[in-house]
Amino acid sequence: MLSTMGATGFYLLNSVVFFQTAGAAITYLIVIGDTIPVILGLLGFPIARRWVIFVCSLAFVLPLLFFRSIGSLARVSIISVMTLPPILFAVAFSGFQYAPDHKRSFDFVGDNVFPAIGVMAFAMLSTQTAFMNYQTLANPSKRAWAQATGIAVSLSWAISFVFAIIGFISFGEDVMPNIFNSFPLTDELINYGRGLLGFSMFLTFPQAFYPARAALHKVLGHEDAHSLPSDTEHVLTTLGLFIPILVCGVFIADLGLLYQLIGGFCSTFLAYIIPGLCYFFVFWADKSQSYAFIATLGEDEDNDEHGQEGFDDNSDEEDSGHNTQSIGRKKVALEKHTRSQVERGQVSIGDNDNEGQILLPFSHITHHSHSHTHHTSSYGATTTVIAPLGLDSSISSAEIGTAGNRARRRRLSTVGKRPRKTELWLDVGAGILLVFGVFVMVISTATTLKKMAGYA
């Protein structure tokens, strides 16, 4: 978003991520309030819901929030995931006993379609945590990341799907947003599941809190590509964010409406609208004047620091030394060539020269004594293709714009390959994604706000 839309995109993205993850953290406190007080009451300690949330959050949740890296919570996360099978078993075993007492509607489309789409987006969206998790992998390679995301997304989808099916079959139209609230308090197995769910919320809360804090750090200017928050900033931001989330969790009790509000606005924005916007800003922006950025490379230290280096395939490591030397030679050649072109008045250098990048008008990028730049296009979106000095083939501007050493090394392996093109189906797909996201966001948010106004 920063690369495609500048400061506006940067603040827009971090603001949406902040409200998405902070809202998710509030829902975890609501679930704690729906489960733990019931268990304490059955054990002979009847305590008000609000006091349970307040005390448990301070005693069990807050101590987990002062770590800087989400990787410090790896063992905690494993314990949280291990509570899911017994919770699912308790719901499945007890749920079907109540099926005869409830009516089920088999209408394919109900009266709450768009808020439901938002809730589904909320349930499955995890991009705001993905980069943090990637940087804490023991082996941060492309293969390891593919395995981790494949297993995580498939497993979470399956668990969500099973819970939904059990809830529909068992309680039909009477099912509650928190399925445990659909069961009577006298079911001992369900009470066991309630206790495990409340316990898992203590451990799951940081997974939403950490991305919210990171987004807040970025918006406040505490964190960027070259600096991290100081200890004082880290502690103050943690406490300053935790307190309002705790207050909201104490006083908000309707889990379903909160799901719909966050899902309909924030999750839909992140899942559908932002990807579509980025596509069109990358491939459609400023088509009248084609420019290409040629990175002069040599910023490996910065990329290593932020985890970019780790995204290489395992095989990439073998060629790193040779490619780095080759890239360095091409950097020198490019600088000399560009300097001579500037002296002859054939090209102009943009303001980014002092940052290691040279902005060249498309029509003046040359290869030795003749042009070796190709401009390929298909319907709608265009791709500028550039041949680096010393190579006989070309690479796409998408590869040039990719951050990190992986993209830089890949440029040397594109000899003899066809340039990439954007196709009609990509343009149509991005357009549908964008329009669908805007439509769902507007309708879902309006519907939810109307319901909330009715409750008020």
Q: Are residues 295 and 347 in the same domain?
A: yes
b/e sequence 132-151, b meaning 16+ C-beta within 10 Å: bbbeebeebbeeebeebeee
- Is the alpha carbon torsion for 178, 251, 268, 133 positive or negative? negative
Provide the residue range defining the domain that includes 331.
291-422
Q: Are residues 139 and 264 in the same domain?
A: yes
Rounded-to-integer distance, Cα 53 and Cα 49, Å:
6
Rounded-to-integer distance, Cα 341 and Cα 223, Å:
39
Q: Are residues 437 and 296 in the same domain?
A: no
Domain for residue 362, yes or no? Answer: yes
Q: How many residues does the chain have?
A: 456
CA-based R_g, the chain, Å:
26
So what's the pLDDT on residue 342? 47
Domain for residue 3, yes or no? Answer: no
So what's the pLDDT on residue 136? 76
Write the single-letter amino acid at 157: W
Helix spans in 63-187 (H)? 74-82, 84-95, 113-124, 127-135, 142-171
Rounded-to-integer distance, Cα 333 and Cα 321, Å:
19
Q: Are residues 132 and 262 in the same domain?
A: yes
Two tokens, residue 379: 């319907």
Please provide the distance, in angstroms rounded to a whole number, between the alpha carbons at the two ends of the chain: 37
Q: Are residues 140 and 202 in the same domain?
A: yes
Two tokens, residue 303: 């990329």
Q: Are residues 170 and 52 in the same domain?
A: yes
Domain for residue 11, yes or no? Answer: no
Domain for residue 117, yes or no? Answer: yes
Write the single-letter amino acid at 315: S
Rounded-to-integer distance, Cα 394 and Cα 386, Å:
5
Q: Are residues 179 and 54 in the same domain?
A: yes
Can you say how many angstroms the Cα of residue 271 is from the centroid of all Cα atoms in its chain?
8
Q: Collect all residues with Cβ–Cβ distance below 8 Å to 411 and sequence separation of at least 6.
A: 388, 395, 399, 400
Rounded-to-integer distance, Cα 327 and Cα 304, Å:
17
Domain for residue 6, yes or no? Answer: no
Q: Are residues 330 and 271 in the same domain?
A: no
Q: Are residues 190 and 132 in the same domain?
A: yes
Rounded-to-integer distance, Cα 256 and Cα 90, Å:
22
Q: Are residues 336 and 383 in the same domain?
A: yes
Q: Are residues 270 and 310 in the same domain?
A: no
Domain for residue 8, yes or no? Answer: no
Domain for residue 427, yes or no? Answer: no
Domain for residue 10, yes or no? Answer: no
Q: Are residues 28 and 140 in the same domain?
A: yes
The one-digit pLDDT tens for each residue of the chain (456 residues) are 888 888 899 999 999 999 999 999 999 999 999 999 999 998 888 999 999 999 999 999 999 999 988 878 888 888 988 898 899 999 989 988 888 888 888 877 777 788 888 888 888 887 777 777 787 777 788 888 888 888 888 888 898 889 889 999 999 888 888 888 899 888 889 999 999 999 999 998 998 899 999 999 999 989 887 888 999 999 999 999 999 999 999 998 888 888 888 888 888 999 899 988 888 888 876 543 333 333 333 344 344 433 334 344 444 444 444 444 555 554 555 555 555 544 444 444 444 443 333 333 333 333 333 333 343 333 444 444 333 333 333 444 444 444 444 544 444 444 444 434 567 888 888 899 999 999 989 988 888 888 888 765
- Total of domains in the chain: 2
